[in-house]
Amino acid sequence: MIKQYASIMSRRHVLAGLAAGTSLAACDMQSSRAMRAADTHPIDYPTVRAVAHMGDLLAARTGGRLRIKIYAGSQLGAERDTLEITAFGGIDLNRVNLAPLNSIEPLTIVPSLPFLFRSKQHMRSALDGAPGRVILDSLAAHDLIGLCFYDSGERSFYNTQRPINTPDDMAGLKIRVQNSDLYVAMIKALGADATPMPLGEVYQSLAQGVVDGAENNWPSYDSGRHFEVARYYSLTRHVMAPEVLVMSRRYWESLTADDQDLVRETAIESVNYMRLLWDERVEKSKARILSAGVAVNEITDLSLFTKKMEPIWQQFVKTDLQKKLVADIVSMEVGL
Ligand code: GTR
């Protein structure tokens, strides 16, 4: 209780500091302070380290005029809340998963679709290419400037009850999902019950039986220590929705055109750095989880899962542009 109160107080303190900062005239923004960046993950997580790297590049190229200060570990709140604050200009940079953007911008549904990408290479090619650009650009209509995508690996199910081999094994399980109607529908279609909740509440909810399971990639299953309480990890690899780095339009418009170019350039450079960190971190997390004795199982017949996703694609891919992007991505030819 005391710990919870302390964290609410410290968040209030940080938010009050941010609110004071937002009263600065836009033109003073970049000369007076570092950009304020939010991330739900702790400081050693690849996404946080990648944004810190971008900050180093910016500082080096501007003699310290452009800098980034990261508020990691959900200090500024859950992703959906920080996105709202970013859209109105209270946070300058925000690294989130695409899922909490699903209800804000329909094009973000596309890379979030279950079983869309066939491989890591396919995902990277789509997001580095034209489809990725269109999706990043669509965020401007919501006062967010999409700078780049980062990897988020493959998400699979973990739970406290039993290994999942077929959708029947999911019957009746309460599964935590991110705040996205797409994922609520996905879980329902698999025969389980969906409970949307912020990442920070998942460990306790698993430990107390509020939910039976969740789904995530190896690094997040490890980083949140969810594997200590949910001891079955079943490799459905159902989603490869990427992470995205967005800047508030307000901060963006306070930059000169040259600085905007620099921001875009350093964000893109941080992607390759992040991918190196990511690939390394996946292996480390996997090793830690396996050595902790978690029961990890492969799925022999994934088609039982993919078939159940057909109506979900139909339900969520509605506009012509969404359909075009899906078709473009599905038809991309990439090596494995
Ligand atoms: C992680 C992702 C976070 C957050 C989290 C979640 O993989 O990096 O941004 O979306 O999943 O499940 O809430």
Ligand 1 centroid – CA 84 distance (Å) = 17
Q: What distance in Å separates the CA atoms of residue 271 and residue 53, rounded to the nearest whole number?
A: 10
**What residue has token string 């004071």?**
20
pLDDT tops 70 at residue 20 = no
Atom of ligand 1 nearest to the CA of 214: 12
The fraction of the chain above a pLDDT of 70, given in percent, is: 90
> Which amino acid, residue 293?
G
Residue 147 shares a structural domain with residue 160: no
How confident is the model over 213-235, as pLDDT tens digits? 999 999 999 999 999 999 999 99
Instruction: Specify the number of domains making up the chain.
Output: 2
> Of 152, 187, 226, which is best to mutate to test ligand 1, by the most ligand atoms within 8 angstroms of its C-beta?
152
- pLDDT score of 21: 45
285 and 151 in contact (C-beta within 8 Å)? no
Residue 50 shares a structural domain with residue 162: no
Residues 274-285 have a mean pLDDT of: 98
Phi, psi angles (nearest 5°) of residue 238:
-80, -20
Q: What sign does the CA torsion over 26, 28, 31, 32 have? A: negative
Residue 235 shares a structural domain with residue 124: no
Angle separating helix axes 320-330 and 120-128, nearest 10 degrees: 130
Residues framing ligand 1 (Cβ under 6 A)? 40, 79, 96-97, 99, 152, 178, 199, 216-217, 220, 243
Q: What distance in Å separates the CA atoms of residue 177 and residue 194, rounded to the nearest whole number?
A: 6
Residue 263 shares a structural domain with residue 321: no
- pLDDT score of 257: 98
Ligand 1 centroid – CA 61 distance (Å) = 31
CATH assignment at residue 305: 3.40.190.170
Residue 139 shares a structural domain with residue 228: no
Q: Does a structural domain hold residue 145?
A: yes
233 and 221 in contact (C-beta within 8 Å)? yes
pLDDT tops 60 at residue 132 = yes
Nearest C-alpha neighbor of 217 from the set 71, 306, 80, 97: 97
Structure token digits, residue 39: 């991330």
- pLDDT score of 266: 98
Q: What sign does the CA torsion over 201, 169, 113, 153 have? A: positive
Q: Does a structural domain hold residue 300?
A: yes
pLDDT tops 60 at residue 17 = no
- pLDDT score of 306: 98
Q: Does a structural domain hold residue 8?
A: no
Ligand 1 centroid – CA 99 distance (Å) = 8
pLDDT tops 90 at residue 3 = no
Q: What distance in Å separates the CA atoms of residue 330 and residue 131, rounded to the nearest whole number?
A: 11
Q: Does a structural domain hold residue 1?
A: no
Residue 274 shares a structural domain with residue 290: no
| 127: containing domain | 22-152+241-278
**How sure is the predictor about 334, in pLDDT bands with cuts at 50, 70 and 90?**
confident
pTM: 0.92
Please provide the average confidence, as pLDDT, over all residues in the chain.
93
Atom of ligand 1 nearest to the CA of 217: 7
161 and 232 in contact (C-beta within 8 Å)? yes
pLDDT tops 50 at residue 7 = no
Residues 91-118 have a mean pLDDT of: 98
Burial class, 293, CB count within 10 angstroms (exposed 0-12 / middle 13-18 / buried 19+): exposed
Ligand 1 centroid – CA 154 distance (Å) = 11
Q: Does a structural domain hold residue 13?
A: no
How confident is the model over 182-205, as pLDDT tens digits? 999 999 999 999 999 999 999 999
Residue 131 shares a structural domain with residue 183: no
- pLDDT score of 33: 87
Residues 40-63 have a mean pLDDT of: 98
Burial class, 56, CB count within 10 angstroms (exposed 0-12 / middle 13-18 / buried 19+): middle
> Of 220, 245, 274, 277, which is best to mutate to test ligand 1, by the most ligand atoms within 8 angstroms of its C-beta?
220
The fraction of the chain above a pLDDT of 90, given in percent, is: 89
- pLDDT score of 14: 52
Among 25-29, 69-73, 140-144, 243-247, the range scoring the smallest mean pLDDT is 25-29
Q: Does a structural domain hold residue 26?
A: yes
- pLDDT score of 165: 98
Q: What distance in Å separates the CA atoms of residue 207 and residue 209, rounded to the nearest whole number?
A: 6
Q: Does a structural domain hold residue 2?
A: no
Residue 142 shares a structural domain with residue 29: yes
Q: Does a structural domain hold residue 17?
A: no
pLDDT tops 60 at residue 71 = yes
Residue 123 shares a structural domain with residue 272: yes
Q: What distance in Å separates the CA atoms of residue 117 and residue 120, rounded to the nearest whole number?
A: 7
Nearest C-alpha neighbor of 68 from the set 34, 29, 18: 34
Residue 93 shares a structural domain with residue 196: no
Residue 202 shares a structural domain with residue 309: yes
Residue 257 shares a structural domain with residue 271: yes
Q: What distance in Å separates the CA atoms of residue 42 and residue 32, rounded to the nearest whole number?
A: 26
Residue located nearest, by CA, to atom 10 of ligand 1 = 97
- pLDDT score of 139: 98
How confident is the model over 156-175, as pLDDT tens digits? 999 999 999 999 999 999 99
